[in-house]
Amino acid sequence: MLNFCPTAVMGPRLLASSLRSSIWFKCPVRAYSKGKFVSSKNKKNKMQTLKPLNFVIPNYTSVNNLANMLNIKLDKLVKDLKDLGFTNARTDFILSKDYIQLILQEYNYDVPSSSGSSTNSGNVYNALKVSLNPRNLAERPPVVTIMGHVDHGKTTILDYLRNSSLVDKESGGITQHIGAFQVVTPVSKRKITFLDTPGHAAFLKMRQRGANITDIIVLVISVEDSIMPQTIEAIKHVKKSGNELIVAITKIDKLSSQKKKDEAITRVTNDLLSHEIEVESIGGSVQVVSVSGKTGENMDLLEECIIALSDSMDLKAEYGRSTMIEGWILESEVQKALGNVATVLIRKGELQKGNILICGNTYCKVRAILDEHRNPIQNACPAQAVKVSGWKELPSAGDEVIQVSTEATAKKFVTKRLNLVKLEKEATTVEKLNNERTQTKELAEKNNYDDKERGEVDSPECKGPTKVNFILKADVSGSVEAIRESIGHLGNEEVVCNIVDSSVGMPTESDLRLARVSNSIILCFSLGNLPNDVLNNKEKVEVRQFDVIYKLIESVTETLIENMMPIYDCKQIATAEVREIFNFCLKQKSIRIAGCKVTNGKISRNSLVKVLRGAEDEVIFDGKLATLRQGKESPAEVTKGKECGITFENNFEGYEPGDKIIAYEKIKVQRYL
Ligand code: GDP
């Protein structure tokens, strides 16, 4: 009997996500026996020694294949899988490596522990992170984000702070640019790093990962409007993120008298209170500064408030060249003179030229470091945002940056991550495919059931269109997109083109594997001569190559047509009449033979025939002849005017004198999409 894990009742999909987390593997597998859970550890003690594994565990395989590999009956494996919680287990269900390992363990195989396949690509760089060294800790500048309702003056404040004229350059007066810059406060001469508004994808991505790169949020509220919808959104964000808050009441210059200013500030304070923000003037902890981004009134006070708050937060980071750099990508772009450039906010360490950084699927040997004024600088320290050039590919905003010691290490880790990303993609595709197959099967079963209830025959049209799977590989991403556009919509209610995966470059081993498990044809476009190990691959996957896009479309169209239900036309080739019935007794069995006369054409031994009755030509039989005789002879064919004795397959003997026999040929009708 198979072990039973509580997790198994979740079914493969949930189980898959559980399996991906290493925690799951720590969960003791328990056997359910006579109403009690028994630890598999105890069970294993009683078991015979583990069976050696004489094959390499594939990343994916179908239940069918696994049964062959384990040399067990398919029915048994399917049943065992169902017992294990794979409620959807079917012969064509594709199992991932995690599942296969679990099943092998259940069958008492010696599964190597190193063959675990956690496919969490995000964690691959965690191994590189160095633990904190308290000796390198030193005070760092606060990182501040300005938030607030549109038009309340965020850009004007940032503009004043960095002493540039961003507002004038902006389209529609709405903050478009995302960036970061440092200011030195006028009085205390301390540094503050300002980030632009956080609606940008980079910030969302960082937040999704639980990274809170901002220390302090300055909530900008126009004295004219007080709290508006986006102000409320910002307040919600502050509460959720746990950031410290300072309120800047702006456009204070618009109110002429001190009395009006005081009244307006009181109104904003009360509005804030109604959103549970308790400001200092009423005994709370949130500092409020009334400023004018336009005139600069109280801007120095705002900066000093930020410094005072950051001092109370005791913000520190690890400095020094011996500290391995970590940071975040704020934005990235291709610049004419510099190539791939990314803004990196340094979290720890001291960035210098020549450092090797890895990030997402790419890495960088730092060629140039530029400050926010685009001036080249020699190094950058924690809480500083700088432009860094030298990236092999553009990193994505919101991704984490980590330093490694050599380019070789960077290449190794990036390759590892790329492989994991690919594996994750495969896993998603396989999961999608399994779900689709399950849905199709459920639908088919439901339709079958409904039809039976209605007393109708099962109709294949009820099962939805057949998906014909393709994997697309092309020379450049433009081609990939163009081909996807051209073939993605091909199909009709019976058959559709399903692009399982598409990417640039030669088909890789993992493409071939994916093609095998997903039963896909690989379409290669403009890739030149394909290597032999791709064309005659060991996965036995069909690989087609094209240089002309319409040929590729034609080929896909033909394949789709081949997968449509064949339709046949009937062409009449002969007619005969049943004249008399002869009863014979053969081996104590009575046989009825139809004595016929061929009235037209030739009836042959292999003819398909219909037996028709009455004026309305009711079809009482449709099938093949069993015997065709003339006296004692069994001729291959009987021609017009001749008599013959006929019997029909499936022991059909329901003919009577006067019935008509039609011999016909089935002709396949050309189908179109
Ligand atoms: P944002 O959308 O929050 O970035 O708002 P902007 O900084 O673009 O400002 C919107 C409008 O308000 C612009 O026309 C600014 O000139 C104006 N404005 C912003 N701050 C002040 C201020 O302190 N005083 C005055 N008089 N106008 C301001």
Q: Which protein residue has the closest C-alpha to ligand 1 atom 6?
A: 153
- Evaluate: CB of 167 within 6 angstroms of ligand 1: yes
Instruction: From 546, 563, 580, give the residue that closes a domain.
Output: 563
Q: Are residues 663 and 578 in the same domain?
A: yes
Nearest-CA residue for atom 9 of ligand 1? 153
162 with 302, same domain: the answer is yes
Query: What atom in ligand 1 is closest to the CA of residue 293?
Result: 23
Q: What CATH number is associated with residue 195?
A: 3.40.50.300
- The reported pTM is 0.55
The verdict on residue 359 lying in a domain is yes
pLDDT at 343 over 70: yes
Distance 131 CA to ligand 1 centre (A): 44
The answer to whether position 94 is within a domain reads: yes
Any atom of ligand 1 within 6 Å of the Cβ of 197: no
Residues 6+ apart with CB under 8 A from 111: 53, 57, 101, 104, 105
Query: Within this chain, do residues 216 and 76 fall inside the same structural domain, yes or no?
Result: no
CB distance 153 to ligand 1 below 6 Å: yes
| H-only helix segments in 174-333 | 201-208, 229-241, 258-274, 299-313
Work out the average pLDDT over 650-673: 88
Q: CB 210: neighbour CB atoms within 10 A?
A: 6
| CATH number for the domain harbouring residue 648 | 2.40.30.10
User: Looking at the structure, do residues 188 and 260 belong to the same domain, yes or no?
Assistant: yes
Least confident among 173-182, 280-289, 299-308, 605-614: 173-182
**Comparing 477 with 211, which gets the higher pLDDT?**
477
The amino acid at 157: I
pLDDT above 90 (res 69): no
Length reported for the chain = 673
- CATH code for the domain in which residue 479 is found: 3.40.50.10050
Q: Is residue 117 part of a domain?
A: no
**Ligand 1 atom with minimal separation from the 175 CA:** 4
Same domain as 229, residue 186: yes
Contact predicate 388/368, CB 8 Å: yes
Kindly give the distance from the C-alpha atom of residue 7 to the centroid of ligand 1, in angstroms, as a whole number: 56
Same domain flag for 551 and 584: no
Check pLDDT > 60 for residue 459: no
Q: What's the gap in Å between 173 CA and the centre of ligand 1? A: 9
- The rounded Å distance from CA 197 to ligand 1 centre is 14
Share of the chain above pLDDT 70, in %: 82
209 and 85 in a single domain? The answer is no
Query: Does a structural domain hold residue 21?
Result: no
Residues 69 and 144 reside in one and the same domain: no
Same domain, 174 and 309: yes
Closest atom of ligand 1 relative to the 152 alpha carbon: 3
Tell me, yes or no, whether 233 and 365 share the same domain. no
Tens digits of residue pLDDT in 128-147: 777 788 889 999 999 998 88
Mean pLDDT of the region 415-441: 75
Q: Which of 404, 414, 421 is nearest to 129 (CA)?
A: 404
CA of 343 to the centre of ligand 1 (A): 26
**Residue 298: inside a domain, yes or no?**
yes
| Residue 422 lies inside a defined structural domain of this protein | no
Q: How much distance in Å is there from the Cα of 153 to the middle of ligand 1?
A: 4
* Res. 9: pLDDT tops 50: no
For a ligand 1 pocket test, name from 147, 154, 155, 156 the mutation site with the most ligand atoms within 8 angstroms of its C-beta.
Answer: 156
Of 317, 449, 310, the C-alpha closest to 381 is 317
Cβ–ligand 1 contact at 154 (below 6 Å): yes
Ligand 1 contact via 173 beta carbon (within 6 Å):
yes
Report which listed range, 473-477, 614-618, 661-665, is most confident.
661-665
- Compute the average pLDDT of residues 411-415: 89
Residue nearest to atom 10 of ligand 1 (CA): 151
Query: Worst-scoring range by mean pLDDT, 42-46, 536-540, 597-601?
Result: 42-46
Q: Ligand 1 centre from 174 Cα, in Å? A: 10
Token pair 């046989």: residue: 591
Residue 186 DSSP label: T
Residue 654 lies in a domain: yes
Mutate to test the pocket of ligand 1, among 149, 157, 161, 167 (most ligand atoms within 8 A of CB): 167
> Which of 317, 338, 367 is the last residue before a domain boundary?
317
Is 606 part of any domain?
yes
The verdict on the CB of residue 156 being under 6 Å from ligand 1 is yes
Structure tokens at 490: 């091909």
> Looking at the structure, do residues 291 and 233 belong to the same domain, yes or no?
yes
- Domain ranges, residue 592: 568-668
How many domains in the chain?
5
Q: Atom of ligand 1 at shortest distance to CA of 292?
A: 23
Residue 294 CB less than 6 A away from ligand 1 = yes
Asked if 393 and 435 touch (Cβ cutoff 8 Å), the reply is no
My answer on whether 559 and 572 are in the same domain is no
Beta bridge partners of 637: 604
Confidence of residue 671 (pLDDT cuts 50, 70, 90): confident
Domain boundary residue, one of 317, 349, 382: 317
The ligand 1 atom nearest the CA atom of 158: 7
Q: Exposed (0-12), middle (13-18) or buried (19+): which is 186, by Cβ within 10 Å?
A: exposed
